[in-house]
Amino acid sequence: MNLSPLDTAIFLVLGLFGVGFYALLIVRHLIKLVIALQILVKAAVVALAAAGAASGKLELGASLALSVIVVDTVVAVVALALALQVRKHFGTLDVSELGTLRG
Amino acid sequence: MLAGELTVLTIALPWFGALCIWLGGNKAPRLTERAAVAFSVFAALASGALIPFATNQVVLRIPVGGVFGEFTFVPDGLGILLACIATGIGSLAVIFSLDSMRGEKELARYYALVLLFIGAMAGLVLTGSLLLLFFFWELVAFCSYALISFHNDDPKAVAGGIKALVITQIGGVGLAVGVLLTYAQLGSYEFDALLRHSAQMPREILGIIAFGFLLAALAKSAQVPFHTWLPDAMEAPTPVSALIHAATMVNAGIYLLARFYPAFVNVPAWTTTVMAIGMLSALLAALMALTANDLKRVLAYSTISQLGYMVFAVGVGATLASQFHLLSHAVFKALLFLAAGAVIHLTGTRALAQLGGLSERMPFVRNAFVLGALALAGVPLLNGFWSKELILEAGAQNAGMAAFILLLFGVSITALYATRVTWLVFWAPPRETNKVASSNGHSRPKEIGDAPRAMRIALGVLVGATFTSWLLIGGVSEMFARTLTLANVHVLTLFEMMAEIFLTPLTWIALGAVGFGVWLWTARERFANVRASWQFVTRAAENSFGFEWLNAQVVRATMGAAARLRVTQTGQLNWNMVGIVGGFVLVLAVLMMRW
Amino acid sequence: MMPAFVWLILVLVLAAPLVYLGGHVGRLRQLVANATSVEWETDPPNHLSQWLALGALAVAWIPFTLAARASDAAFALGTLALRFDGIALLLSALALGLGTLVAIFSGAYLRGEKQTEKFFALLLVMVGVMIGLGAARDLFNLWVWFEALAVASYMLVAFQRDERASLEAGVKYLVQSAAGSVMILLGIALVLAQAGTLDLEELGARLVTADSNLLFAALALFVIGFGVKAALVPLHTWLPDAHAHAPSGISAMLSGVVIEAGLIAMLRVMLPLIPHLQGQGNRVAVLFLVFGAINLLAGNLLALRQTEVKRLLAFSSVAQVGYIVFGLGITFWSGQGVGAQGAFFHLLNHGLMKGLAFLAAGALLFALRAGLPRHAPLTISDLAGAARRYPVIAFAFSIALLGLGGLPPLAGFMSKWQIFVAGVDAGNIWIDVLVVFAALNSVLSLAYYAPLVNAMYRGNVSPLVARGTPVPRAMVVPLVVLAVGVVVVGVAPNVLDWLTQPASAALLHSLGY
Amino acid sequence: MFSGLIAIAIIMCAVQAIRAARLLSSAVWLAGASALTALWLYILGAQQPAVIELSVGAGLVTVLFIFAISISGEEAFTAYPRVPRKLALLLVVGAVALLAVDLAVASGMPRAVDERAVSTLSDTFWNARALDMLVQMVLIFAGVLGVLNLIGHEEIKEVETPGEIQIAQTHLPQVVEPENEELLRV
């Protein structure tokens, strides 16, 4: 079977999507959660680039992918800054300890 | 034309007064009191002045636009009668408050809410737009809630207020649905549209509207099974109880039924349901009044029972009789409540076990209360007698002998509990009278004496009205016949009424029932055995025939569901993500399914 | 010549760095003054940034009025365009109005907080970006606006960075929201692959040949992705934390505008897809109706047993979003504008009422804070007797609560009524049932609003209230303005027609009716 | 074919990033995934995003992670996941399966024919979609402000209370629950 990059894109996106969301459900370490988010962002980048290619507008998809990388890097930075602050005040990065607000 | 201006005045005067008093704050209590009396009395005068202008035409039209239609006002006979009751009895309650509320904190809030209440009720009965009716309907509910829980520090008062609010609002949903369906069908909120075009509507829809309105009326007028809020509303200051029972709140339901009776009369099972519920409420509440041990609760159950008669009367098509009884009831129930309020105010308790032997200490209050009780029992020449006889007669004519006999049973019990409560308060040997236990923590024990001046004025006016209000039958019926063209009301002059009542044997039978009830109390010792065998009834009555239990179950179920649902808010990020992923799976699955 | 609404965005966004610098100027001046002793325990009182922010917001009203007159102005930069249609107008009016009041309110509220210039700069960014979001006409561009809004929101939620609860709320908000935005991106990718364009107006024509399965997948991704931000149950779990533990002004913005902005963004991206679902557009309507109903019930039940004031209000936002979603669902079902107009009307009213409620709660929190442990939540029992000492605040708060409970003649009733009228007009028995359900929920909501009102009017003053500090006038003014608004809209509902009608017209236009 | 292998490798890296017991290894695996993604993008023909992915995704972000990890310390707490693994697996498999079915049922990814002239990426990014970029600047500004607010005070605080940033060095007591040795790997 001859798979083109576009066909593998679907497989890749779904795989990363699954891994990322599984991690968000299971992982308790805040920094690792940010890593999971980054994995999801990879899925989005791949999806956009591939979608651009699929619709014959490679440069459009690539441009979107670029923007996503930039934006989500900022989000990651913000998340890490928050994580440091959490570490300082909660003494841990276990998000299960961040469960004081409930009910 | 003056009618529009007077209509506006009737509503706006109390509201304007409420605004002034609210803004004025608690700095000058005397001024607040005077302003409240002035605004309420002027509102009463304005509504009285409306009487000659009674019309079935729209006198005021305010376009609101969009889906809100027009706000209209139609001061017809029915509306004016109820507006006069609301403002008249309302202003007497305000006058009575001068004494009974003196020294309370936050008088401004009290009087502002009372005036808002009176104005809202006047608006409710004078408007001609269903949406505006709903507006006022909700506003009345809000005022009753705020006033019942006026003593916010008392958890019972707060609970009573919220109960009243929630139950009447649940009924209000019925009204809302009815109004929405009417608008969807007819594209108008006018009363006239509904009354005239009801026959053109699809039958199911008209049925839903009819029963929606009925639901609202039953909740508002505290009829079985929605009556549970009324006894709990007794935590309100007593003038407010008088207001709710006689002038404003509960009358709204009767008004609604009477107003739209012509539209719904042909809806299958509607009139039967109305009659049945009225009858049931009249009898059950009377039994509960017989067993209650709290002065105000007795009166509360008695209100439910009397309202039951009115609902029944609407059900058999006797609009005039129902509204006439509403008038009588408003007068004598206000009298009873205010007299009871005087007793409570002066003794500091309302438990029947702690009252008694007050006959000599407060002769004025005693006389007033006895008169009210006699009118309630239906003793001749007092207003309650005439209107009750009209209802009994209509019942016998239109609903058959079985209904009449049941009603007679109710009449006897009414006489019985009226006698009982009067005797227990004034003539029973004083049991714990002087160990004045403040029942709600805010009235102060004091020297027990007779009523002070403002109370006497209010009581005096009501005593007079108890003797005379029935003389108005001619005017009322004429006004109804002229302006309620669809309600099929005939002019009934005073002499016609007297002749009609005295010439029918039913009246004498009913009087016999009254006498029997009174005699039952005097001979109660002799029936000790019978009472023992009827204990299951009395016990059931003490437990409100299970309706309180039902009520509590509903509340508990809701609260329990709320508590259990809180578990879903785990505060755990991972579980929160389960919500997101799970939601995605669900939504995608639903969208992908082939329907 | 740029249209006025672009200036509106530019004024706000460009003023933000100035506000930030303004704070530093103030601090430098202070530094020079205290050159000898550098005391940073609490920042020096520093009003320059607040005044600059207020100035920027005041200036922004000029282009806003111009933009409101020129309907449907468009602005193109490259292939991307912004278009100021009815929905954008509605969102910008709400964002700018509430943002201005929050800016007035927050200066005093943040007294004692450090580095408030960042707060005000972020607030300006938030308002400006929200207006841009409303006007975006490109699917991806919309996402970028949205992320900018989200980043500003995360930072504002966690603004009180020494408070554990704020951090916790910020973390949850960020992670859940970021997961949602990845879903949106995947949806965008699906649409792009199908249509080869992202322009929302072109999409309609390009999607004619699209496969409806893929559109359903994109739709689900959009609904969930934006649903996280719009707090659809069960995606709402971040909301009570974030709304309850943000600074109160931000709570007002979040509840009053930001979640609604999420809903509007969701609408924007969904609308071009709906006509191409091969006759199964009704599914979307059903989805919305069901989400509305679930939101109503869950929000109300969760709020019923709350004792913390701000948390209660946050859950009530979940319920109120339910009404808006319900109204939109009715329009999707029937194609009549009344439901959407009611939904937009309720959106505005909710902004007014919930903004007022959060600001009033914030004012009371500010007043009673002296007696509370630092950053402890305000509970209902703490409010006992608040009306004695703070009559205006308590009254305004009561108006907000009763309005939210749907009591006439306040704003909330009118918009709910409009939604109900639309529902009954739709002529479907199930929608009728849902209307009854929604009305019953309104009653249920009174069961938690009413006790809150009662608590404030108690005679026994709680110790906290007895020790409470006076509230500065700058915090009371926004409350009065909003309270008057809630009453006026309730009495004369057509004063907002100029906002709701174009918005629902724009919605119907996008739906192709 | 080659791209398929890379895709598998990317997913493997992602899985390892999640499974790795040590945070630093996680970050390195993520960098690996990033680098491979860059390669994949390159093969697709999207050279510029590939370069950016390599520099930003694999480079900058990894540096950031390592920086954050070194400040916060390698906190080796491990415990049961709060959400049952089976449930998590079920949900994720469900979501992926539904999406996959959807894509499979769909008549392939239709390729819309583009009638307009193909432009270059830089033109698209800098001119056609300049607005995206402008908004990103606002976003970056907001992010910077926020980060400054969150961690920017430390230098000032350091003067007074140097103890506050000691977290970097201190290792707080590790929360290791009993009998979860085998669960050390998530």
Q: Specify the pLDDT at position D164.
A: 39
Residue in A closest to D140 by C-alpha: A74
B259 is written with which tokens?
A: 């107003």
Query: Which of chain A's residues have a Cβ under 8 Å away from the Cβ of B574?
Result: 24-28, 95-96
Q: Please check the confidence at residue C119 and state whether its pLDDT lies above 70.
A: yes
pLDDT tens digits for C253-283? Answer: 999 999 999 999 999 998 888 888 766 768 8
SS (H, E, C) chain D: CHHHHHHHHHHHHHHHHHHCCCHHHHHHHHHHHHHHHHHHHHHHCCHHHHHHHHHHHHHHHHHHHHHHHHHHCCCCCECCCCCCHHHHHHHHHHHHHHHHHHHHHCCCCCCCCCCCCCCCHHHHHHHHCHHHHHHHHHHHHHHHHHHHHHHCCHHHHHHHCHHHHHHHCCCCCCCECCCCHHHCCC
Q: Please check the confidence at residue C151 and state whether its pLDDT lies above 80.
A: yes
**Chain C adjacent subunits, 3+ CB pairs under 8 A:** A, B, D
Calculate the average pLDDT of chain C: 89
pLDDT tens digits for D8-32? Answer: 999 999 999 999 888 899 999 999 9
Buried b (16+ CB within 10 A) or exposed e, B516-552: ebbebbeeeeeeeeeeeeeeeeeeebeebbebeeebe
Query: Which of chain D's residues have a Cβ under 8 Å away from the Cβ of A37?
Result: none
D positions 149-168 inside 8 Å of A (CB) = 150-151, 164, 167
Q: Specify the pLDDT at position D43.
A: 87
**CA proximity to C251, closest of C308, C327, C181:** C308
Higher-pLDDT residue of D127, C156: C156
Calculate the average pLDDT of chain A: 89
Q: Specify the pLDDT at position D107.
A: 59
Calculate the average pLDDT of chain D: 76
**Can you tell me the ipTM of this complex?**
0.91
Give me the architecture of the A5-91 domain, per CATH.
Orthogonal Bundle (1.10)
pLDDT tens digits for B118-135? Answer: 999 999 999 999 999 999
**Chain D adjacent subunits, 3+ CB pairs under 8 A:** A, B, C
From the list D15, D30, D150, which residue is nearest A81 (CB)?
D150
pLDDT tens digits for B31-44? Answer: 888 999 999 999 99
Query: Hey, where are the domains in chain A?
Result: 5-91
The CA distance from A41 to the nearest CA of chain D, in Å, is 10
Q: Please check the confidence at residue D81 and state whether its pLDDT lies above 90.
A: no
CB C98 within 8 A of CB C252: yes
Q: Please check the confidence at residue C56 and state whether its pLDDT lies above 80.
A: yes
Higher-pLDDT residue of C45, C230: C230
Four-residue CA torsion sign, B498, B502, B503, B506:
positive
Q: Please check the confidence at residue C43 and state whether its pLDDT lies above 60.
A: no
Q: Which structural domain range is residue C303 located in?
A: 288-513
Residue of B578, B585, B587, B593 to mutate, interface with D, max D Cβ within 10 Å: B585
The CA distance from C29 to the nearest CA of chain A, in Å, is 29
In a domain, C358, yes or no: yes
Q: Please check the confidence at residue C91 and state whether its pLDDT lies above 90.
A: yes
Q: Please check the confidence at residue C103 and state whether its pLDDT lies above 90.
A: yes
C168 is written with which tokens?
A: 């916790």
SS (H, E, C) B242-304: HHHHHHCCCHHHHHHHHHHHHHHCCCCCHHHHHHHHHHHHHHHHHHHHHHCCEHHHHHHHHHH
Q: Are A84 and D79 in contact (CB < 8 Å)?
A: no
C482 is written with which tokens?
A: 């909003």
pLDDT tens digits for C186-201? Answer: 999 999 988 888 888 8
A3 touches chain D (CB under 8 A): yes
Q: Are C140 and A100 in contact (CB < 8 Å)?
A: no
Neighbouring residues of A19: CB distance < 8 A, sequence distance ≥ 6? A36, A39, D11, D14, D15, D18
A positions 13-52 inside 8 Å of D (CB) = 14-23, 25-29, 31-32, 34-36, 38-39, 42, 45-46, 49-50, 52
Q: How many CB pairs under 8 A join B and C?
A: 170
**CA proximity to C86, closest of C145, C13, C5, C7:** C5
Q: What is the mean pLDDT of residues C34-53?
A: 65
Total number of domains constituting chain C: 1
Q: Are D91 and B588 in contact (CB < 8 Å)?
A: no
State which residues of chain B have pLDDT below 50.
Answer: 433-446
